[in-house]
Amino acid sequence: MKKIRAPNPKRRVQIAIIAGIAIVASVIAFSYYLDEASLQGQKFGNDLALIQSDLKNETASFDANLTLYENGKISKDDMLNITDSHLAKMQNILAKYDTLDAPEPFVPSLQLFRLSTATQLESDDALKDWILTGDNATRAKSDQLLQQSFQYEINALASYNNAKSGNSQ
């Protein structure tokens, strides 16, 4: 008959300690991963908010000048210079979207925000043609593009909020 060895209590303690260390290490690693993902998401959100703020400020400034032009307080040449400067600033704002590192759930919203800004830039370019020519068809095209830009932005905000709350896009 074979002699059954009694389990070594020290061995059990060692195994329990190793298992405990593995569990604690796993929890720490998972927590670190979640913190990093949260920080990346927070940085992305902050960077996107800065771009949107720059866009809002530039658009408000341009709209104020356009109103002055429409009221005859700015000459056509001055308004064309203002428009050229505005278009360059809008190009710079548009390029900022490409520098963002969006977490995967936010990629669709980033694409929509970028599309909104690109469409607004196209609208402002058509508006420049209207200032140059006075052709109301280009003004109507500008207005149509601006409405499309607004719709893209609404969709971008909805997509962003869905990603933020963890819902599928």
Q: Where in the sequence is the domain holding 115, given as residue range(s)? A: 42-165
Q: Is residue 49 part of a domain?
A: yes
Is residue 110 in some structural domain?
yes
Residue 124 counted as domain residue:
yes
Identity of residue 108: P
On whether residue 59 sits in a domain, the answer given is yes
Lowest-confidence region among 38-42, 100-104, 128-132: 38-42
- Output 139 or 34, whichever has higher pLDDT: 139
**Could you tell me the pTM of the whole model?**
0.78
pLDDT number for residue 28: 77
Decide if 8 is inside a domain. Answer: no
Residue 91 counted as domain residue: yes
**Residue 4 clears pLDDT 80, i.e. is over it:** no
**Nearest Cα residue to 47 out of 113, 144, 105:** 113
The total of structural domains in the chain comes to: 1
Whether pLDDT at 143 is above 90: yes
Smallest CA-to-CA distance from 113 within 61, 49, 162 is with: 49
Mean of the per-residue pLDDT values for the chain? Answer: 88
By C-alpha distance, which of 85, 74, 140, 146 is closest to 117?
Answer: 146
Residue 129 lies in a domain: yes
Residue 168 has pLDDT above 50, yes or no: no
Structure tokens belonging to residue 5: 């060895």
Distance CA 14, CA 163 (A): 45
- Do 102 and 110 contact (CB within 8 A), yes or no? yes
Query: Residue 37's pLDDT is what?
Result: 62
Amino acid letter at 25? Answer: A
Residue 169: predicted pLDDT: 40
Q: What's the average model confidence in pLDDT over 29-58?
A: 81
Residue 74 lies in a domain: yes
Residue 167 confidence (pLDDT) above 90: no
Q: Assign 8 to helix, strand or coil.
A: coil
